[in-house]
Structures are given as C-alpha cells and as structure tokens.
Structure 1
Amino acid sequence: MLDREEILAFQRDGYAGPFDLPESFVRPYCTPVFAKSVVDHLVAEIEAGANPFSDRLRNQHLFSESLCALASEEGLLSRLSSILGPDILLWVGHVAPRWPDDEGHRWHIDADNKFIRGVHVSIALADNREENGCLRLIPGSHHHRASLTAAERIGLIDRMNTESVVAYADRVAPHNAPHQVRPMTMRRGQYFLMAEGMWHFVGRNETPEWRTNVIVRYARPDIACRNYGYDESEMIAGEPLACVLVRGEDRFNLNKIVPSPTTDLFQLDRDGPMPPDAQIPLSHRA
C-alpha cells in the first residue's frame, strides 16, 4: 500500500515512486533472453505488416503470460489499490524498447488514460537516465484544464520545445508557477505510477544501447475502457478495450473482460545470471 504522504503526493504532483520490484521476481525480465524475444517479436510483427497500434504490438498483455504476470506483481497491485481501490483492470500492456538514437516522443497527454481516468505505470527493464531518454513530466500538470494538442494546433506551443510547454503551463496555471520538469530516472527493476492527464515527454536515446521499459495501464471496473485515440482535445469513445481483471471483482459489467493468457509472446530465462550492467545492447536481429 501507499502511505498517507505518498497518496497525498500522488494527488498533488500526479506521480509516485520510483519503487522497487523484488529482485528475484524481475530478474528474468532483465536478461538478454527476454530482450531478444521482444526484439524478435517486434521485427516479425512489423515485417508482417502489422499496424504499430495493433493488439499484438500495443496490447501484448492479452497474448503474453509473462507480461501479464509482471503487471500483476503483488506489491505493484497493492500500491495501485491505494489509488484505484480493491478492483483493478489491466487494459494496456506492452514492452517499449527505445533503440539508440530513438527520437522519443514530444510533449503530450495520453487521451485514453485521461478519459479512462487510469493509472499509467512504467517499469524499467534497463536503467532510465536522462541521456537515454527517460520520461520527463511536469508535476501538477494533471490538474490543468488545457489540451496540448489544441494549443499546438492554434500555434500557442511547440510540443518539441520544452521551454515552450513549461511557459504555457505557467500561463494556464499561474497559481502553480514556476513549473518544473521532473526527469523520472530509474534503476532497472524499478517502476513509478503516473496519474491520468499528466503532461509528459520522452527524450532522445543518445546512448549506443537499448532502453527497454514495460508500459502498463490500469483502471477501476466502474469506468468503461474505450479507445479514445490520441487527441485529448475531444472526447470521442471508440471500440471497447479488452481488459484483464488483475485484482478483485467486476460488479459493473461495463467492460470486455478476458481471461489472463496462458501462452506467451516472449521467453523468460528464470535461471540465467543477471547481466552485470543495466544496458543490453541488441541489434534489430539479435
């Protein structure tokens, strides 16, 4: 569970952590065997012509027993229950590797997480540092009633320019100025929780190694999980999203609940040694 101060900080700042996963639990996910199986899966899907937002690329928790198990770690779910309550749905889950010189992602608000009022969790399978493009966020920005997509559309901000976005935050929420950017650095095996509506950015990976995280999102079952696309300036509900009930029960029947997978896209090395450092160099065809 989160303690009282952590809950208050999450409500105020929009994030909590980082926290540690048990080393024996997370170790198989940090080995070259798992990393190679991730890259092989991604390459095979892309070469087969898969859409980057297809289920087997974006919603791997529906097809991977190991990924679903990682997202269901007891300590993680216990902390989530402090925010979401006893009943928890997993509705997004995928491995997100950032290859060397990856450009990252401009400042944005996750539309689906905002409208579903979910909790975004990023799990580090390699060290997350500023130089390899760790996620950056603006504390308190989840309270701001502004759309970054709409602001860019009418020329108020440049979402690739951090100074532009911070200045805009100061304008829309002067009571919280001056806004600061918080780099979410983590050691491998750590994770943090992020609130819906947070303004965040992923920088360029300026190192020669891959930086690999697992992205998972959770919600309460009394919220209908739908595809809201990527424009947070308008709320247009799309198709229902398949969810795995990872804790508690669903008493509302608003969502498409599917069983946890019993097969796997990836391979775990449960007995192999932990690599000596946090970075796992890989080629596309490793």
Structure 2
Amino acid sequence: MVSEGKAFTLSDEELAQFHRNGYIGPFDLYEAEEMAAHLQALRPKLINTKKAVYGGGKTVSGVTNLSNYDRHLDIDFLAEHITRPEIVDRVSSILGPDTLCWRSEFFPKYPGDEGTDWHQADNFSNVAGSKHPQIVWPEDADFGGTITVWTAFTDASIDMGCLQFIPGSHKSMNYDESKVMDYNPDLINNQEKSGVRRGFFGYDYRQLQKDPNWSPDESKAVSQVMRQGQFIIFWSTLMHASHPHAGKTDQMRLGFAGRYLPTSVRVYPHSDALAEFGGAASLEKFGNVLTSGRDNFGHNRFVQTTVNGYRFPVRDGVPA
C-alpha cells in the first residue's frame, strides 16, 4: 500500500518548526471512541503471536521477547495504520518522496511503572546483541536517525507517563552507540535518576554517555500530553523520555511507534537476527514496507501486507 495523495503534507512553517525543534504535533488521526474500539478489537490479536514475525523469539530469564515488534506485518489494522496518508504524507514531506517503514513497536506503561530514561538513537546499535548498526545512511547524508511516529492508543497524560522532549536536542548526539550497555532485568522498575523513577527496560542508558559527568537539562523538557487517537512525529536523535505512570488510574498507557526512513538507507545490513532487551529472534521473516514512492536502490528487503495476512517480496512497490 503506497500513499499517492499529498493532502497532509507539512506546510513550510510546520517544516521549519520541525527542523528547529526536532518534533511536530500532536495531530488528530482517530476519534477517541474510534481508537478505543480499534484497541478492543486489537487486544486478542496482540496476544496471539503465532503469526508474529518474531513470535518464536527466545527470552532471557523469562523477562521479555520481541513479539511486540513489527506487528504491522501480521495484523491488518496496524498494516493500514502505518500507511495512513495522515502519517505518510507528513513523513515524506520530511524525508522525501520515497519512504519505508522498517519497524514498529508497542510501548505499554502500566500503573506504577517507571518512566523511560532520557535517550537518543542514531543507528540503533546500542542494544543490539551484534553491536552492528541496524540502519546505515548513505555516506553523503547530512544526518542519521529515523523518524518516529508515536500514536497514543490510549490517553497519555503526565500522570499516565506521557512522552517528554528537549526541543532542539536532535542536532547533536550526547551518547556513543558503539559503547556497550549491560542488560540486567533486575533494574526494571528499580532505578531513580534526579529524583524521578526512570529506567530503560533493563539497561542504564547513562553507560553510553560521551561525557560521564554530563546530564540532560531537564528544565527545557516539554511534556507531550496526547489524547487517545493522536500522533506525534519526532527524530529518534531528539532527546526524549517519558514520565512514570503515577498509578492514579488502573488504566495502562499504550503507545505505538512506527519508524520511517528514506529508501536510500540500508536496514539491518549486517544482521540476520535481533538480540536486544533480553530477547532474540531471527530476521528471516522480516521485511520493510514501502510507504511512499519507489525503491530505486534495491539493497533492502521489502514485503507487502494484504488483508489476508499474506506477505510477498516486492520490488519498486509491485509484488515480484
């Protein structure tokens, strides 16, 4: 499915704002009642991981696996979601006409859960077991990272753990992704930074700091309160975090992130498996989804999702 229309292209003013701050939004996508109905229908499909591309991924200490990754490849609603013109038109106005979605992830936050620590991601090698970059931009590219489109599948208030950004921080990296972080599941919900309960899914992101004495200027942080059904767009290199879930409600906060790149970027060029966050899985069934334009490079694997759940290799947006 490829977006043809450009009804939702960012204006010049919006593009200037995005390049200045590193993010833009939130934008309306679904009405709250509509999103709630989609989520209710989605829950049993999320539990059934038989068709998930990483459904057979192993766990470490039974803590986690990768079955919440890339569910757009086996769930029709998510396949449609990542290709919605409201999203793709805006993404392609930033990245250019030829774009792909290479990853999607769910980010649940349950009552009492810690916040997510401040972090940036450029090539995503920081948690990969192989330590190889997961994405590689052309050598003459002016920047790296990926565009993340984070959709609030539930309300995301400060008390429920909404996102936080430090505007303008996407222009320089404070972390060295070639460094190694040690995974320790005992750290989950058991860390505190600057008086706030924050962690990084069993890692301590501070291990990657270029300057061990540096700390983010949280006085510049902006909280991104979003209602159910809205989405926000940001560079992965933007300093971002999330508040803890204060537990004032028994409702979880659920975000869904789609990650987009121009087709010139190589995806998993050195890897045939994922090994991160305590889980591991083969990339044998993985494929990118062409979301706009064409693939003129031929160095990435593409798949096409259909309403019947079948996946075909595609070339230039056409099933091979």
TM-score (norm 1): 0.71
Which residues of structure 2 form unaligned runs of 5+? 1-8, 125-134, 138-144, 182-190, 197-205, 277-282, 310-320
Deviation at 1:20, TM superposition (A): 0.4
**Structure 1 match to 2:232:** 192
Deviation at 1:91, TM superposition (A): 0.6
**Structure 1 match to 2:17:** 9
**Structure 1 match to 2:171:** 143
The reply to whether residue 224 of structure 1 matches residue 266 of structure 2 is yes
**Structure 2 match to 1:243:** 288
**Structure 2 match to 1:103:** 114
- Contact kept? 2:136, 2:266, Cα under 8 Å: no
**Structure 2 match to 1:65:** 76
Which residues of structure 1 form unaligned runs of 5+? 154-158, 232-238, 265-286
Label 1:62 to 1:31 Cα distance change in 2 as closer, same or farther (>3 A).
closer
**Structure 2 match to 1:19:** 27
**1:124 pairs with 120, 129, 152, which one?**
152
**2:90 pairs with 79, 83, 87, which one?**
79
d(CA) in 2 for partners of 1:210 and 1:36? 16
d(CA) in 2 for partners of 1:101 and 1:204? 7
Structure 2 counterpart of 1:197, which letter?
T
- Contact kept? 2:95, 2:261, Cα under 8 Å: yes
Indicate the RMSD between aligned Cα atoms, in angstroms.
3.9
Structure 2 counterpart of 1:147, which letter?
Y
**Structure 2 match to 1:182:** 222
Deviation at 1:261, TM superposition (A): 4.5
The reply to whether residue 161 of structure 1 matches residue 201 of structure 2 is no
- Contact kept? 1:144, 1:172, Cα under 8 Å: no
TM-score (norm 2): 0.64
d(CA) in 1 for partners of 2:214 and 2:300? 35
- Contact kept? 1:144, 1:173, Cα under 8 Å: no
d(CA) in 2 for partners of 1:203 and 1:179? 14
d(CA) in 1 for partners of 2:98 and 2:41? 33
Structure 2 counterpart of 1:122, which letter?
W
Label 1:34 to 1:100 Cα distance change in 2 as closer, same or farther (>3 A).
same
Structure 2 counterpart of 1:203, which letter?
H
- Contact kept? 1:64, 1:261, Cα under 8 Å: no
Percent of aligned positions that are identical: 25
Deviation at 1:148, TM superposition (A): 6.6
**Structure 1 match to 2:255:** 213
Deviations 1:183-203 (A, max 9, x none): 111011100001131111122
Instruction: Count matched residues.
Output: 246
Structure 2 counterpart of 1:141, which letter?
S
Deviation at 1:224, TM superposition (A): 0.5
- Contact kept? 2:155, 2:253, Cα under 8 Å: yes
d(CA) in 1 for partners of 2:57 and 2:180? 31
Deviations 1:70-121 (A, max 9, x none): 1111111111111011111011113332222222322211244685532001
- Contact kept? 2:57, 2:65, Cα under 8 Å: no
Structure 1 counterpart of 2:88, which letter?
L
Deviations 1:165-190 (A, max 9, x none): 9xx99x9899xx89600111101110
